[in-house]
């Protein structure tokens, strides 16, 4: 086993000789999350000038390997950056609302407060939420942009809200997928979105994709669609996915309210051709066997948000069953207005323990498995498992260094120590593309406290005279 690893990594090292690494992290205990590599590698990781991994290898880096920067991890665990396959980043500005509500009334309550947000506000909210994600070790995010097509603040640009939120993420330094609602979604609170025809939606999507293409280089992985549930919308969504080669995450079967009505809309999803490997469902709790079978057959996936599902009393998705049936599963922290703390470690524990409570069986899911779901699982449903989710040559060098100081002596399984014990306070640093973004909770490239205070000021200003 050990020999095989050495051979593989030697090859990786040889290929890398041509390029001078921009950074080498040495003396790390590396949990790669790569296929067949569960045993941690005590060694180093090298990164090329483009921010991609050159090699992951045991031992010390070869003496002839000259890197611009050599970092001593001092025995820290190195793990892939977490991936949230389901976030509403702008919601970070609205924590703690509607504390006793399930999703539908919670959403209405939130709209009372966010309805006056301008595109500029959503820029700051998104920048703030992205940095909050980063600070907690999330390096890649699928972000449902806040809908909205008009209103005085948009100044006639029906893409103003999406552009602002795209820029917010791009400026934060996080790696991302921007999820776009072609029809404009529910609109911007007080300014309901006009019902768009398919043609209008298509034109709006096309315009946004063109705008994205014209942007300066950023850490955008791809644009995705934010799905469509009611009426004939699945047909439109399926057509746009096909035409523009876009993936799609659709909110489905989240709230415990009106389960039957929600389930009834599945027929149209199947008939429309929406069910395919580029589609995944968000939440997907109140399923039926028929829905699960069709989803598995189509090769579609789902994203699991345990913290949010608990806070909003949505219920527990039967993840062990889904996995057994062959449904692809990722994990998300959701928006900070429903999982008010965007901590992937706590999100893993909430999910793992909820499933163990449900089954009253501790073998039903392991620490390694849930860590896999929040890294590789998310990368898979987001269609970017070739780029992120594990630490392998050719993938982006997005990783965390986790201090083992408080995690206890790993007598049996280091993944148990990591998943059962670690929290934000144990993260030494967060790296994206081989560049350090967060050092001991301090965001390096932005004035986080100032941005946070600015966001609170905007929320207070929007809501003056309310309550």
Q: How far is the CB of 305 from another protein (least distance, A)?
A: 11
Q: To which H or E segment does residue 455 belong?
A: helix 448-462
3-state DSSP assignment of residue 267: helix
Q: How far is the CB of 122 from another protein (least distance, A)?
A: 16
Q: Which is nearer to another protein, 223 or 459 (CB)?
A: 459
């996995």: which residue's tokens?
Answer: 323
Q: Which is nearer to another protein, 68 or 362 (CB)?
A: 362
Residue 442 C-alpha from the chain's centroid: 21
Q: How far is the CB of 103 from another protein (least distance, A)?
A: 9
Q: Which is nearer to another protein, 58 or 364 (CB)?
A: 364
Where do the H-state alpha helices sit in 288-396?
289-298, 306-311, 319-325, 344-359, 367-372, 378-381
3-state DSSP assignment of residue 24: strand
Q: Two tokens at 342?
A: 């965007």
Q: Which is nearer to another protein, 53 or 138 (CB)?
A: 138
Q: Two tokens at 433?
A: 């593309």
Q: How many CB atoms lie within 10 A of CB 155?
A: 10
Q: How far is the CB of 371 from another protein (least distance, A)?
A: 12
Contact between 395 and 140 under an 8 Å Cβ cutoff? The reply is: no
**Beta-bridge partner residues of 303:** 282, 330
Q: How far is the CB of 75 from another protein (least distance, A)?
A: 12
Say which DSSP state 265 is in. Answer: T
Q: Which is nearer to another protein, 27 or 452 (CB)?
A: 452
CA distances from 316 to 151, 287, 307, 308, 407 (A): 38, 11, 10, 10, 28
Q: How far is the CB of 446 from another protein (least distance, A)?
A: 15
Q: How far is the CB of 318 from another protein (least distance, A)?
A: 12
Q: Which is nearer to another protein, 130 or 181 (CB)?
A: 130
Q: Which is nearer to another protein, 186 or 356 (CB)?
A: 356
Q: Which is nearer to another protein, 6 or 97 (CB)?
A: 97
Q: How far is the CB of 129 from another protein (least distance, A)?
A: 11
Contact between 106 and 97 under an 8 Å Cβ cutoff? The reply is: yes
Directed axis angle between helix 160-172 and helix 198-213, to 10°?
30
**Beta-bridge partner residues of 401:** 78, 429
Say which DSSP state 34 is in. Answer: -
3-state DSSP assignment of residue 221: strand
CA distances from 262 to 149, 226, 255, 265, 282 (A): 26, 17, 9, 6, 13
| Cα–Cα distance for residue pair 28/429, rounded to 1 Å | 13
Q: How far is the CB of 377 from another protein (least distance, A)?
A: 19
Contact between 119 and 154 under an 8 Å Cβ cutoff? The reply is: yes
| Cα–Cα distance for residue pair 227/282, rounded to 1 Å | 9
Directed axis angle between helix 448-462 and helix 103-114, to 10°?
90
Q: Which is nearer to another protein, 23 or 422 (CB)?
A: 422
Q: How far is the CB of 95 from another protein (least distance, A)?
A: 3
Q: Which is nearer to another protein, 216 or 260 (CB)?
A: 260
């Amino acid at each position: 086993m050990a020999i095989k690893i050495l051979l593989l990594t030697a090859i990786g090292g040889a290929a890398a000789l041509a390029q001078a690494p921009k950074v080498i992290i040495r003396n790390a205990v590396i949990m790669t999350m790569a296929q067949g590599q569960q045993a941690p590698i005590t060694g180093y990781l090298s990164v090329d000038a483009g921010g991609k991994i050159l090699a992951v290898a045991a031992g010390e880096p070869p003496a002839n390997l000259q890197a611009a920067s050599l970092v001593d991890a001092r025995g820290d665990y190195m793990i892939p950056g977490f991936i949230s396959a389901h976030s509403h980043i702008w919601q970070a500005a609205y924590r703690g609302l509607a504390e006793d509500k399930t999703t539908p009334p919670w959403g209405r309550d939130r709209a009372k407060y966010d309805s006056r947000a301008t595109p500029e506000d959503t820029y700051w909210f998104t920048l703030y939420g992205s940095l909050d994600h980063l600070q907690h070790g999330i390096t890649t995010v699928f972000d449902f942009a806040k809908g909205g097509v008009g209103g005085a603040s948009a100044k006639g640009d029906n893409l103003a809200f999406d552009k602002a939120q795209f820029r917010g993420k791009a400026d934060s330094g996080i790696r991302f997928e921007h999820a776009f609602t072609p029809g404009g979604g529910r609109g911007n609170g007080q300014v309901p979105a006009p019902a768009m025809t398919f043609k209008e939606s298509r034109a709006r999507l096309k315009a946004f994709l063109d705008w994205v293409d014209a942007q300066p280089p950023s850490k955008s992985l791809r644009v995705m669609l934010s799905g469509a549930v009611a009426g004939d919308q699945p047909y439109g969504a399926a057509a746009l996915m096909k035409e523009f080669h876009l993936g799609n995450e659709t909110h489905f079967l989240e709230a415990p309210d009106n389960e039957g009505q929600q389930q009834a809309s599945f027929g149209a999803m199947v008939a429309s051709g929406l069910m395919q490997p580029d589609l995944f469902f968000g939440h997907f709790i109140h399923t039926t066997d028929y829905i699960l079978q069709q989803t598995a057959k189509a090769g579609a996936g789902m994203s699991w948000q345990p913290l949010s599902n608990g806070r909003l009393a949505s219920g527990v998705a039967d993840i062990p069953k889904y996995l057994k049936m062959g449904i692809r599963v990722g994990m998300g922290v959701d928006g900070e207005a429903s999982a008010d703390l965007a901590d992937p470690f706590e999100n893993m524990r909430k999910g793992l323990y909820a499933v163990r409570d449900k089954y009253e069986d501790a073998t039903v899911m392991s620490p390694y498995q849930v860590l896999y779901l929040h890294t590789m699982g998310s990368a898979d449903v987001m269609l970017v498992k070739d780029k992120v989710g594990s630490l392998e040559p050719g993938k982006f060098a997005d990783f965390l260094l986790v201090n083992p100081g408080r995690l206890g002596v790993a007598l049996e399984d280091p993944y148990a120590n990591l998943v059962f014990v670690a929290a934000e306070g144990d993260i030494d640093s967060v790296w994206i593309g081989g560049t350090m973004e967060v050092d001991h909770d301090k965001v390096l490239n932005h004035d986080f406290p100032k941005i946070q205070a600015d966001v609170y000021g905007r929320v207070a200003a929007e809501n003056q005279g309310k309550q």
